[in-house]
Amino acid sequence: MSSRLLLPLLGRTGRRTISAVGGGRRGTDALSGVHAAARRSIIDLSYSAHFMDFKGSSIPSSMKKLVVTKLSPNFREAVSAQTVAVPTPGDADLLVRNRFVGINASDINYSSGRYDPSVKPPFDAGFEGVGEVVGLGLSASSRYTVGDTVAYFGSGAFAEYTVVPAKETVPVPAVKPEFLTLLVSGATAYIAMKRLGDLAKGETVLVTAAAGGTGQFAVQFAKQAGCHVIGTCSSNEKAGFLKSIGCDRPINYTAEDLAKTLRKEYPQGIDVVYESVGGSVFEIAVNSLANKGRLIVIGFISGYQSASGIPPFRGGTLPVKLLQKSASIRGFFLPHFMSDYREALSSMMQMFAKGKLVCEVDCGDLAQEGRFVGLESVFRAVDYMYAGKNLGKVVVEVAPPAVSNSKL
């Protein structure tokens, strides 16, 4: 084989990055075919212009992605859509064609630069995606092949194609948006409840924003632990959904006073609170704790859109309140618990497969401008979530399923 025909193996960056397609993947040296071209092709050279092919549908040379170009809690102001070259996977990487991406409340914390002040724009946005492998590096081919379906939790998900280290991906049986719900929202609830909740059968658990992306999982895991579960929400429709997943006492705070309801119906207090709203809701949660109560803070969405990102809180008497009840407040930030991540994901996927876990997805079918389809819909989806309209995890369909025209 001439050196000219080997160029596709080097990729756009000049590194040897691409594994054999159709040979040399399991138990053989993918490069051994260099001296045996007549016997076996290293790569399907009919697609050598793109060298990464999915079922006969060539990868384009350019794609769209969302980039943070200015630090701001206003997502539309901070982020812009750009057309760039489709990236090349490194030796241990996968190139994933994103089918669905997940929307998180923390997307605007990220666009504000709150997580890592040392990172300056421009940088890629989005935390999670699910899609098909359409290209991969040589080392990555020991675990994956073109056409595999994977989910991942990492930066740069708001793009039509994303390069992801193979070790940071999770194989999934199908490209379903339900698997996206587990990556951040589900994992946060699973690990936080397990590591920080210390749940015991018969305890009372309060979940705020219970019908949201992560709240829905906190409700279900608390019920699985044998607890009595209270869930706050903003509509009767959401209250009905909460009942359907096992919530014992949904409280629609637009129709009922949360503080008064908790005092009246739960005079002994709340044993565990899974709290993501902040501000006045956080204060109510503190005041409602039982003796030895645990308040888990997984976020404070009510303040994210402000300049500081922090909702106002009158905390002068907090030490006294905690001391009087031997209560505690425990913070949870998922990246600090990555040693628990694989086990959490595996357990949740098994529960979902057995029909023991509801993964509610909101793709915007009831949104004013319709379903969230296409990368540009991410902006609408963020607005939709911050307007409190979502029921379940907000998900954007980046691209429709691939239509194969392969004759192989």
Q: What is the mean pLDDT of residues 274-281?
A: 97
Q: State yes or no: pLDDT of 134 exceeds 80.
A: yes
Q: State yes or no: pLDDT of 31 exceeds 50.
A: no
CA distance 283 to 184: 26
Q: Locate CATH 3.90.180.10 in the chain.
A: 62-175+360-397
What is the average pLDDT value for the chain, to the nearest integer? 87
Q: Residue 314's pLDDT is what?
A: 86
Residues 6+ apart with CB under 8 A from 308: none
Q: Residue 52's pLDDT is what?
A: 58
Q: State yes or no: pLDDT of 406 exceeds 50.
A: no
Element (H, E) at 63: strand 62-68
- How many residues does this entry show for the chain? 408
Report CA 175 to chain centroid distance, whole Å: 14
Q: Residue 53's pLDDT is what?
A: 53
Q: Locate CATH 3.40.50.720 in the chain.
A: 185-338
Q: Residue 57's pLDDT is what?
A: 54
By CB atoms closer than 10 A (0-12, 13-18, 19+), residue 212 is: buried
Q: State yes or no: pLDDT of 350 exceeds 50.
A: yes
Q: State yes or no: pLDDT of 47 exceeds 80.
A: no
Q: With pLDDT > 70 as the criterion, what percentage of the chain qualifies?
A: 84
Q: What is the mean pLDDT of residues 328-338?
A: 97
**CATH fold of the domain at 185-338:** Rossmann fold (3.40.50)
Distances (CA, A) of 140 to 19, 157, 165: 8, 19, 8
Q: What is the mean pLDDT of residues 170-176?
A: 95
Q: What does the DSSP assignment read for 138-160?
A: TGGGGT--TT-EEEEESS--SBS
Q: What is the mean pLDDT of residues 272-284?
A: 97
Q: Residue 315's pLDDT is what?
A: 87
**CATH fold of the domain at 62-175+360-397:** Quinone Oxidoreductase; Chain A, domain 1 (3.90.180)
Lowest mean pLDDT among 44-53, 195-204, 316-325, 398-407: 44-53
**pTM metric for this prediction:** 0.85
Per-position b or e across 321-359, b if 16+ CB within 10 A of its CB: ebeeeebebeebebeebeebbeebbeebbebbeeeebbb
Q: Residue 401's pLDDT is what?
A: 67
3-state SS of the chain: helix, strand, coil percent to 5?
30, 25, 45
Using one digit for the tens of pLDDT, what is the confidence trace for 178-236?
A: 999 999 999 999 999 999 999 999 999 999 999 999 999 999 999 999 999 999 999 99
Q: State yes or no: pLDDT of 103 exceeds 50.
A: yes
Q: State yes or no: pLDDT of 26 exceeds 60.
A: no
Q: State yes or no: pLDDT of 301 exceeds 90.
A: yes
Q: Residue 61's pLDDT is what?
A: 87
> Taking a C-beta distance cutoff of 8 angstroms, is the pair 274, 206 a contact?
yes
Q: State yes or no: pLDDT of 258 exceeds 70.
A: yes
Lowest mean pLDDT among 13-17, 69-73, 149-153, 327-331: 13-17
Lowest mean pLDDT among 17-21, 151-155, 283-287, 335-339: 17-21
Q: Residue 96's pLDDT is what?
A: 96
